[in-house]
Homo-oligomer: A and B are copies of this chain.
C-alpha cells in the first residue's frame, strides 16, 4: 500500500519576482508529512492562464491531490478559479452558497457585495467549497484539486478544514543525527549503510555554519523498530558518544 501523493502549485508573480518569500509550500509540506501524504513536487508559476493550466493539468493526472495557493481574490490579476474551470472544461459562475458565505462579511450585503467582490463567489461547476473562517471568501475542491488563498493566515485556516477530509497514509517517521564532519569524510561509509538498508531512506543535508562544515543525517521509515536500528548504526559509525 503506497501513501497518497500530492503536488502543490504556488500561483503569483510576486513570488517569482522575489518580492514575497513563499512560506505556504513549507507549511503544507510539514502538515502532509504528519499525515502520511507524500508531497512529490511543487511548482511556482506566474499569474498567467497558460502557465496555471499547464501546471494544474500536468499534476492532477499524476498525483492523488493537488493543492494551489494564490489568485482567488477580487482583483483583475486573480484568475485561478477561471483557469481551473477551463482546465476541467466546466462552466463557472457566481454560486449561491459561496455568495452567502461572502455576505457574512457585510452588514449590508446588497450594497457592499460589489461586482468585484462577487468575483470571489464564482465557483467552477461541480466544485465543493472550502471554508474560509478568516475572511469568508471560500476556496474550493474541484475533484482532486484544492484551490486556496495565498495569504498565509487564510491558507492555513482553509487547510485546517480541508485536511481532515483527505485520505491519509502511513506516517513516515524520522530521526536526525547531527555529525560535525564534512560529508566527504563520511560519504563512503554512509553509502554502505544506505545500500545495506534499502527499506529505509537515508538523506544527508550538509550545512556550513560559523566556519564549520557539518551535516544532518536523516533516517526515514514508517517502521519504528527499523528507524531505531538504522539510526543506531549511523550514530555508532559517526559520533563519538
Which residues of chain A have a CB within 8 Å of any CB of chain B? 10, 12-23, 25-33, 39-47, 51, 73-78, 114-117, 119-120, 134-135, 150-151, 153-154, 172, 174, 183-188, 190-191, 194-195, 201-208, 213, 218, 220
Contact = CB atoms under 8 A, between A and B. Distances in A.
Contacts of A116: 183-184, 186-188, 191
Contacts of A20: 205
Contacts of A172: 17
A123 B157 CA distance: 46
A19 B204 CA distance: 12
Given A14-B205, A16-B39, A117 B77 contact: no
A8 B92 CA distance: 33
Contacts of A51: 40-41
A100 to B, nearest CB: 16
Copies in the complex: 2
Contacts of A15: 26, 29, 42
Contact of A75 (B150, B204, B213): B204
A30 B20 CA distance: 10
Nearest to A34: B18
Given A29-B17, A116-B184, A204 B73 contact: yes
Nearest to A19: B218
Contacts of A30: 17-18
B76 A190 contact: yes
A55 to B, nearest CB: 8
Complex A-B, nearest 9 residue pairs according to Cβ-Cβ distance, in ascending order: A18-B29, A116-B187, A18-B30, A117-B184, A42-B44, A76-B191, A75-B204, A74-B187, A116-B188
A149 to B, nearest CB: 8
A38 to B, nearest CB: 8
